[in-house]
Amino acid sequence: MLQEVLQQQHQHINVMLRVTPGISAHTHEYDQTGQVDSKFGFDIQSGQAFEALEKVLAIDSMNMLGIHAHIGSQIFEVNGFQMAAKKLIETLADWNQRIGYEAKVLNVGGGFGIRYTEDDDPIAPEEFVDAIVKTVKQETSSKGLITPAIWIEPGRSIVGPAGYNLYTVGSRKDVEGIRSYVTVDGGMGDNIRPALYQADYEAVLASNPTAPIAETVRVAGKYCESGDILIKEQALPASKPGDVLVMLATGAYGYSMASNYNRNPRPAVVFCENGEAKLVISRETYDDLISHDLTI
């Protein structure tokens, strides 16, 4: 398909092959992307990846730049990345021996874990990078290969902790002997992760993040779904309607996954730095929601 597009457009492009190294990261099933039974990438074990390599090399409009893998997200251990790097180098050594191919780039993906709750204990991104680079250099040297450029994708570890979702507290429901629900004016439309794969978060009151804890509540979203629960168990100070609740560490997969679920407009995005705030994405209106509707 790509070859047809290139022929039609008279273009030449760089190509990297994403492969599945057969490594399962220690994370949620939905966040695993490097195992053999995955929708992602060409499988190494069956020879599928080598077949793809030969096809790319036979196409003049494609420059086979290198190899890429991504084993998953929210990972807290370096050994998975080290195993992936070793498998990729092993694959490149095989390709080099069989047809003399030398990769210019080796991309080991990303997925470095961040702190969403007090139970998370992430290591610094630098530790991941150091372990990956050392492994790649050692493996390429031992196999007599030229060390390619090493690409790493640290996205979540940088932008995740930098973002917050702000919600306004609305109604409250106390179920005697079971739990209390505090409902806010957002939910799975602006953060699908808790409903999609049970992602955990923590929240604080914007007015006083360090106020003494008074109770534990379940933070519920406004959408008509029982699964629209933002935080299952959250210790909070006493709250009242109109209070602003801040959900922490939503910078990586919050707005980027937001939708108009149940025909709701998406919230605004504001950047803050050094005591100054700037609106960067305006709040959607109901007119925005129907702007593509056609009159029959």
Q: What is the pLDDT of residues 160-210, one digit of tens each?
A: 999 999 999 999 999 999 999 999 999 999 999 999 999 999 999 999 999
Helices 48-57 and 79-99 cross at an angle (nearest 10°) of 50
What percent of the chain is modeled with pLDDT above 70? 96
Cα Rg of the chain (Å, integer): 24
Q: What is the pLDDT of residues 71-92, one digit of tens each?
A: 888 899 899 899 999 999 999 9
Do 91 and 140 meet the contact criterion of CB atoms below 8 Å apart?
Answer: no
Q: What is the mean pLDDT of residues 131-159?
A: 96
pLDDT value at 104 more than 90: yes
- 272 catalytic per annotation: no
Q: What is the band of 35 on the pLDDT scale with cuts at 50, 70, 90? A: low
| pTM attached to this predicted model | 0.86
CATH superfamily of the domain spanning 165-262: Lyase, Ornithine Decarboxylase; Chain A, domain 1 (2.40.37.10)
The topology (CATH level 3) of 2-159 is TIM Barrel (3.20.20)
Residue 116, pLDDT score: 96
Largest CA distance in the chain: 71
The pair of structure tokens assigned to 145 is: 């290969």
- Sorted by sequence, the CB contacts under 8 Å of residue 38 that are 6+ apart come out as 20, 32
Mean pLDDT taken over the chain: 93
Q: Which residue of the set 224, 277, 294, 296 is catalytic?
A: 224
Residue 170, pLDDT score: 97
Q: What is the pLDDT of residues 9-19, one digit of tens each?
A: 999 999 999 99
Type of residue numbered 26: H
Residue 210, pLDDT score: 94
Q: What is the band of 29 on the pLDDT scale with cuts at 50, 70, 90? A: very low
Per DSSP, what are the bridge partners of residue 168? 244
- Sorted by sequence, the CB contacts under 8 Å of residue 99 that are 6+ apart come out as 53, 54, 57
Residue 25, pLDDT score: 58
Domain ranges of the chain: 2-159, 165-262
Q: Which DSSP state fits 240?
A: -
